[in-house]
């Protein structure tokens, strides 16, 4: 783990090695993972990596280099490489954006998570969960504890530091004779709202009910989606609120600001101040992450900005510049980190009970865009899909492929659950309800 003093020394060393204005981004990750297969622990692994991103500015010229060699030589070489690139870089549109100097809330890791999910504790939890699996079924999956430290600093003395811990668990329980499977998944930054044993039991029950699945005719169905399944779809929708994608004409939201695009029961925001979302309050440009209303009662209300994209519109950054864009050299833009969606009035059980005929879907996979401009998405069901008949889950359904325009789907949401699930998306947690959607299109089956 990277402590605050060491991180500050690294920032000061990098900035002190160059005459140019410099910004430094550091991300340190330690992942402790226990994997299991065939109902036995198969691997314990711990991986620590620290990535440093250095950006130098000279007027309207800038150059960025990244590296993970943290010796004096490695840091000095990072500066030299950035300076070499800066000399030949073309002039850009903007000069350097200096971050605000005011204090931005810092966070520390959760020591209780380390006690709850240390290596011995992970093994004990998996053993306890596997012990509840019925004869004829096998469990596979992983239990992971990750510590993340994020740092921003510049050559004018700005320094921001935050850390958090996150526990993730997933399992698939499979009936050995039929291959029927059920899945369970949970994630949290706290140790008091994550229940590993309950997910084992949920996966076991789903697998038991999923034996001998039957094909159904293709076409449009009423579907009830678990928070996990609905969160998968909503991640594609919220990704398109990147202001750069809107400017480039890639997003469905081009020309839609302040227009009603979705149903009136759809309200979504990016909100770092909501408990349970990713507790990092600044982005890699040193800006404070702001709460952004993305969709309010179906109306597109705002987009996610970094410095450059915001400046083109005469705005300030919303604090959504992503470290992964720096590492991968992707174009600038805003990345969702803390998606929170409003729920409805009924429980998931009440929504199912109120459905005369439809399909319940526990999980999707291989989900991808067909066309981001129209929000058309495709993917497959897995680990639990069941017919709903007269308000009850009945027969298991064979794997189905959906192809669905999400603009249309989000205009046909007839119910959202009041309870909301925490869904792991892109190393963050989204808070999402279950949903009932009319006229959801299935276009293929296996």
CATH number at residue 100: 3.30.2290.10
Same domain, 110 and 148: yes
pLDDT of residue 325: 61
pLDDT confidence bin for 1, thresholds 50/70/90: confident
Same domain, 291 and 373: yes
- Model confidence pLDDT, tens digit, residues 333-388: 899 999 999 999 999 999 999 999 999 999 999 999 999 999 999 999 999 999 99
Q: Would you list the DSSP string of 179-234? A: --EEEEEEEESSSSS--HHHHHHHHHHHHHHTSS-B----EEEEEEE-HHHHHHHH
pLDDT of residue 330 exceeding 60, the answer is no
C-beta contacts of 59-64 below 8 A and 24+ residues apart: 59/91, 59/95, 60/91, 60/92, 60/93, 60/94, 60/95, 61/86, 61/89, 61/90, 61/91, 61/92, 62/86, 62/89, 62/92, 62/96, 63/89, 64/326, 64/329
CA distance 429 to 298: 22
Same domain, 171 and 284: no
CA distance 301 to 293: 6
Same domain, 199 and 134: yes
pLDDT of residue 242: 95
What's the mean per-residue pLDDT of the chain? 95
Q: Between the CA of residue 143 and those of 109, 130, 131, 425, what are the distances in Å?
A: 18, 13, 16, 16
Among 158, 181, 207, where does a domain finish? 207
CA distance 172 to 194: 17
Same domain, 14 and 35: yes
pLDDT of residue 192 exceeding 90, the answer is no
Q: Between the CA of residue 115 and those of 121, 149, 275, 328, what are the distances in Å?
A: 8, 19, 21, 34
pLDDT of residue 293 exceeding 90, the answer is yes
CA distance 390 to 276: 36
Q: Quick check: pTM over 0.85?
A: yes
pLDDT of residue 332 exceeding 70, the answer is no
Lowest mean pLDDT among 22-36, 117-131, 400-414, 422-436: 422-436
| Domain tally, the chain | 2
CA distance 229 to 340: 15
Mean pLDDT in residue range 255-283: 96
Same domain, 232 and 200: no
Among 186, 207, 228, where does a domain finish? 207
Q: Would you list the DSSP string of 8-36? A: HHHHHHHHHT-SSEEEEEEEEEEEEEEEE
pLDDT of residue 99 exceeding 60, the answer is yes
Among 182, 207, 232, where does a domain finish? 207
Same domain, 203 and 223: no
Same domain, 260 and 145: no
Same domain, 24 and 119: yes
SS3 content of the chain, % helix, strand, coil (to 5): 25, 40, 35
Structural domain of residue 130, as residue ranges?
4-207
Same domain, 203 and 292: no
pLDDT of residue 318 exceeding 60, the answer is yes
CA distance 211 to 317: 51
pLDDT of residue 191: 85
Same domain, 305 and 162: no
C-beta contacts of 1-8 below 8 A and 24+ residues apart: 1/28, 1/30, 1/48, 1/109, 1/147, 1/149, 1/163, 2/26, 2/28, 2/50, 2/149, 2/151, 4/161, 7/149, 7/151, 7/153, 7/161, 8/153, 8/159, 8/161
Same domain, 105 and 9: yes
Eight-class DSSP state of 422: E
């Amino acid at each position: 783990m990277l402590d605050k003093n060491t991180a500050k020394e690294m920032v000061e060393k990098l900035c002190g090695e160059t005459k140019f204005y410099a910004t430094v981004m550091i991300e340190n990750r330690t992942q402790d993972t226990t994997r299991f297969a065939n109902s036995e622990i198969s691997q314990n692994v711990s991986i620590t990596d620290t990535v440093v991103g250095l950006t130098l500015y000279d007027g309207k010229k800038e150059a960025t280099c990244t590296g993970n060699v943290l010796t004096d030589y490695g840091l000095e070489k990072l500066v030299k490489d950035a300076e070499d690139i800066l000399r030949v870089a073309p002039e850009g549109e903007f000069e350097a954006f200096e971050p605000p100097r005011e204090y931005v809330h810092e966070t520390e890791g959760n020591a209780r998570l380390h006690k709850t999910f240390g290596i011995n504790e992970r093994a004990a939890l998996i053993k306890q969960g596997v012990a509840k699996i019925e004869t004829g079924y096998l469990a596979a999956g992983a239990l992971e504890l990750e510590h993340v430290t994020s740092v921003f600093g510049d050559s004018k003395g700005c320094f921001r530091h935050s850390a958090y811990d996150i526990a993730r668990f997933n399992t698939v329980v499979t009936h050995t004779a039929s291959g029927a499977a059920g899945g369970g998944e949970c994630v949290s930054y706290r140790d008091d709202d994550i229940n590993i044993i309950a997910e084992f039991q949920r996966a076991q029950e789903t697998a038991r009910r999923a034996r001998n699945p039957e094909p159904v005719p293709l076409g449009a169905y009423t579907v009830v989606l678990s928070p996990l399944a609905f969160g998968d779809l909503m991640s594609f929708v919220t990704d398109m609120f990147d202001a750069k994608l809107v400017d480039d004409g890639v997003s469905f939201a081009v020309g839609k600001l302040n227009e009603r695009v979705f149903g009136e029961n759809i309200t979504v925001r990016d909100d770092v101040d909501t408990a349970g979302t990713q507790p990092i309050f600044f982005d890699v440009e040193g800006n404070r992450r702001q709460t952004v209303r993305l969709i309010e009662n179906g109306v597109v209300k705002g987009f996610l900005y970094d410095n450059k994209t915001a400046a083109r519109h005469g705005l300030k950054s919303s604090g959504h510049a992503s470290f992964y864009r720096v590492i991968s050299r992707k174009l600038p833009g805003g990345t969702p980190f803390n998606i929170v969606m409003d729920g409805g009035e009924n429980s998931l059980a009440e929504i199912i009970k109120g459905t005369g005929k439809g399909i319940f879907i526990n999980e999707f996979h291989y989900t991808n865009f067909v066309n981001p401009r129209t929000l058309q998405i495709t993917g497959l069901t897995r680990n639990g899909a069941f017919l709903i008949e007269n308000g009850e889950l009945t027969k298991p359904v064979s794997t189905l492929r959906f192809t669905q325009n999400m603009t249309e789907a989000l205009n046909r949401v007839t119910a959202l659950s009041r309870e909301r699930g925490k869904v792991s998306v892109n190393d963050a947690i989204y808070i999402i309800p279950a949903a009932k959607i009319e006229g959801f299109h299935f276009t293929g089956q296996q």
